[in-house]
Amino acid sequence: MSLPHAILTALLEKPSSGLELTRRFDRSIGYFWSATHQQIYRELGKLEAEGHIRALPSEQPARGQKKSYEVLPAGRAELARWTAASQDPKPHRDPLLLRLRAAAVVGTDGLEADLRRHLELHKRQLADYEKIEQRDFPPGKDAPHDRIQHLVLRAGIDLETFWTQWLTHALEEFAELPESGTA
């Protein structure tokens, strides 16, 4: 139930069309809530029907024609309500850890290469985040809004740091394992 709220947040930051939202979901917001353009258009329709957002009046609604949305007071209220409401943390789902656990039973053949690949991907993501941090949060930029955003980015950085460290450690362990164990 988070996608509509992700969209409301994005639209409050800046009114946008479906495609612009899609692009922003590929960057900042998508780092912790990804969505495809199909999902976004579907949800924009629902949010408009519910009276949470409206199309900016300027242009007529036709296919292939840009249509921008802005958040209405009802939408902002709903977002505030959702943000403040208590929510239980959902349990993780991590296929990589699952594969490792399977490997403990059926053997580690073939897994190492993919661990190495994941390590590279996480390193790259970490480098991206750190570049964003330098660009968007120079020392002194500490209005409440900035502090909170920075906090979110720090979570991303620390998570990627964790994964690179853990994967590095895992690969070291693999190196010490006897070859091809159906352990």
44 binds DNA (CB under 7 A): yes
User: Which of a copy of itself, DNA, none does residue 42 bind (CB under 5 to 8 Å by kind)?
Assistant: DNA
12 binds a copy of itself (CB under 8 A): yes
Q: Which stretch binds a copy of itself (CB under 8 A): 15-23, 57-65, 133-141, 157-165?
A: 157-165
In the range 43-62, which residues lie near a copy of itself by CB under 8 A?
none
User: Which of DNA, a copy of itself, none does residue 145 bind (CB under 5 to 8 Å by kind)?
Assistant: a copy of itself
Cα gap 183→178, rounded to integer Å: 9
Q: Which stretch binds DNA (CB under 7 A): 59-67, 74-82, 100-108, 133-141?
A: 59-67
- Rounded to a whole number of angstroms, the minimum distance from the CB of residue 49 to DNA is 11
Long-range contacts made by residues 172-180, C-beta under 8 angstroms, separation at least 24? 174/108, 174/111, 174/112, 174/115, 177/108, 180/107, 180/108, 180/109
The owner of tokens 């258009």 is: 41
Query: DSSP letter at 30?
Result: G
74 binds a copy of itself (CB under 8 A): no
Q: Which stretch binds DNA (CB under 7 A): 63-71, 98-106, 135-143, 144-152?
A: 63-71
Residue pair 59/65 in contact (Cβ under 8 Å)? The answer is yes
Residue pair 125/160 in contact (Cβ under 8 Å)? The answer is yes
66 binds DNA (CB under 7 A): yes
- Rounded to a whole number of angstroms, the minimum distance from the CB of residue 121 to a copy of itself is 6
What SS3 class is residue 65?
coil
Pattern 78-97, binding to DNA, x per CB under 7 A?
------------x--x----
Question: What b/e sequence results for 17-46 when a residue is b if at least 16 CB atoms lie within 10 Å of its CB, and e otherwise?
Answer: bbebbbebbeebbebeeebeeeebeebbee
Instruction: List residues binding DNA (CB under 7 A).
Output: 1-3, 17-20, 34-39, 41-42, 44-45, 61-68, 90, 93
